[in-house]
């Protein structure tokens, strides 16, 4: 199959960029032809506000570029990851005018929330979800805390909603969780047009021994990630479970201030991937206290790869990644008391945590292995192609493709992998270097 990927990079690297690169590597490993049409937000400073507004609604440059790429490459599918702001929805029309099917991955909730995360002032906010013109976002400056920038995003969504772009010009939307799929349905997107495909990872750190005796937080030190809840859970007498925080962000000063009086907290800041692997493989537990609607957190997948159980918020898509009591536990979001109690209880039984590790990895292999992700992605592409050409389609939601392709060259198991039944052979691709910490909303 021939696939053209289209993506607008943000100014700061984020998870979307990583998914793009890993899907390209995966598809190529299975023998598909992949080309990319890419733009970067670093070009924004060269534009006037009026030019940026125009490009956000309809970029003639991107329309022309994608049409030329499609006419030259002749892809079966144009797979769009992010259009904001320099690609614009014009790329959908460019792809369709040249005969290609169009698939759009929704990595966040921007289609129904201009701020992308359905969060405001530290709380879940759904004021805009069902509105055709999302004016509350303008009132609250939900995009970049800038009313004019927010109005531009709102205008793009309103105009293209009104002219039927998302209904007519996109054959399938991909979301990362069933929770996101349900939210899209609430907003009026037909359930049959939106399909779930969880994220996956090519790089594989392998199951670690655990036993380090510490809980770990990996990610951006910011309010929406629940870092405030995390600090409140540890900033109390009697909470002596060692906590390793890896990452940086706007709350780093507060994190270090709390750590200065709580010796159980160790702050590592930004870390190399090798350091992250070492921390994750030896951690007894990952803590994921997010207070926003996450997409499909790669950090949780990394923990599952390492066999590390997770304590996560009972919010949004997070519970979909946790098999209660098998791969981890969920607690109410914004609830430091519940988080502290859960962590203290499970960390008091290190033998149980150690025994869980192989089961955690087994669930990862069953749900998020690369070959399963490839099968599901190709099934979605085939459905989009069939829809584009007016053929009957069967939704892929809840099923896997019947047809299994094989990688172009298989990587053989090592003797260690053979001895460990929960370890899968790595795909025959060059793993993509993970992006450890980033703000993917810009």
The string of pLDDT tens digits covering residues 93-108 is 999 999 999 999 999 9
**Is residue 301 scored above 50 in pLDDT?**
yes
pLDDT at residue 418 is higher than 70: no
Residue 31: what pLDDT?
98
pLDDT value for 295: 86
- CATH topology agreement for domains 2-107+171-196 and 215-367: yes
For position 122, what pLDDT does the model report? 83
Domain ranges of the chain: 2-107+171-196, 215-367
Contacts of range 399-404, beta carbons closer than 8 Å, 24 or more positions apart: 400/372, 400/375, 400/376, 401/375, 401/376, 403/375, 403/378, 404/371, 404/375
pLDDT tens digits, 217-229 = 999 999 999 999 9
pLDDT, tens digit (0-9, with 9 covering 90-100), for 337-356: 999 999 999 999 999 999 99
The pLDDT value given to residue 83: 98
Evaluate whether 375 touches 367 at the Cβ level (below 8 Å). Answer: no
Above 60 in pLDDT, residue 419?
no
User: Tens digits of per-residue pLDDT, 353-408?
Assistant: 999 999 999 999 999 989 999 999 999 999 999 999 988 766 554 444 444 455 65
Q: What is the pLDDT of residue 427?
A: 38
3-state helix, strand, coil in the chain (%, to 5): 45, 15, 45
The CATH number assigned to the domain with range 215-367 reads: 3.40.50.2000
CATH topology of domain 2-107+171-196: Rossmann fold (3.40.50)
- 306 pLDDT higher than 50: yes
Q: Which of 438, 373, 323 is nearest to 199 (CA)?
A: 373
Q: Which pTM was predicted? A: 0.86
> Under DSSP, is residue 378 helix (H, G, I), strand (E, B) or coil?
helix
Top pLDDT among 82 and 414 is at 82
Q: Is 222 helix (H, G, I), strand (E, B) or coil?
A: coil
Closest by alpha carbon to 274, among 205, 363, 193?
205
């Amino acid at each position: 199959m021939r696939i053209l990927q289209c993506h607008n990079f943000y100014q700061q690297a984020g998870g979307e960029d990583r998914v793009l690169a890993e899907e390209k590597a995966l598809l190529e490993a299975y023998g598909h032809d992949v080309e990319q049409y890419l733009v970067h937000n670093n070009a924004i400073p060269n534009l006037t506000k009026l030019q940026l507004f125009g490009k956000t609604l309809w970029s003639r440059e991107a329309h022309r570029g994608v049409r030329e790429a499609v006419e030259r490459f002749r892809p079966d599918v144009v797979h769009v990851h992010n259009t904001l702001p320099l690609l614009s929805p014009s790329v959908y029309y460019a792809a369709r005018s040249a005969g290609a099917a169009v698939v759009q991955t929704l990595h966040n909730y921007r289609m129904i929330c201009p701020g992308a995360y359905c969060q405001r002032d530290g709380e879940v906010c759904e004021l805009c979800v069902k509105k055709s013109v999302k004016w509350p976002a303008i009132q609250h400056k939900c995009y970049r805390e800038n009313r004019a920038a927010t109005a531009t995003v709102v205008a793009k969504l309103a105009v293209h909603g009104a002219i039927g772009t998302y209904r007519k010009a996109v054959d399938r939307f991909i979301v990362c969780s069933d929770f996101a799929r349900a939210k899209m349905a609430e907003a009026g997107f037909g359930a049959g047009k939106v399909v779930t495909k969880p994220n996956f990872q090519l790089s594989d750190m392998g199951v670690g021994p655990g036993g380090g005796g510490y809980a770990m937080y990996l990610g951006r030190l910011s309010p929406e990630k629940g870092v405030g809840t995390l600090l409140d859970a540890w900033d109390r007498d009697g909470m002596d479970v060692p906590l390793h925080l890896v990452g940086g962000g706007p709350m780093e000063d507060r994190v270090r201030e709390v750590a200065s009086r709580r010796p159980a907290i160790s702050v590592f800041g930004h870390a190399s991937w090798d350091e992250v692997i070492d921390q994750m493989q030896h951690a007894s537990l990952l803590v994921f206290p997010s207070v926003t609607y996450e997409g499909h957190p790669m950090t949780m997948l990394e923990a599952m790869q390492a066999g590390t159980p997770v304590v996560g918020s009972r919010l949004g898509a997070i519970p979909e990644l946790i098999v209660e009591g098998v791969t981890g536990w969920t607690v109410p979001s914004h609830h430091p008391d519940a988080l502290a109690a859960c962590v203290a209880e499970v960390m008091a039984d290190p033998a149980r945590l150690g025994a869980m590790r192989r089961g955690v990895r087994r669930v990862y292999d069953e749900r998020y292995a690369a070959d399963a992700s490839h099968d599901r992605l190709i099934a979605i592409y085939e459905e989009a192609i069939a829809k584009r050409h007016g053929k009957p389609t069967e939704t892929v939601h809840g099923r896997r493709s019947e047809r299994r392709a094989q990688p172009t060259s298989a990587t053989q198991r090592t003797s260690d992998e053979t001895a460990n039944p929960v370890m899968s052979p790595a795909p025959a691709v060059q793993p993509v270097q993970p992006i450890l910490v980033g703000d993917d909303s810009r």
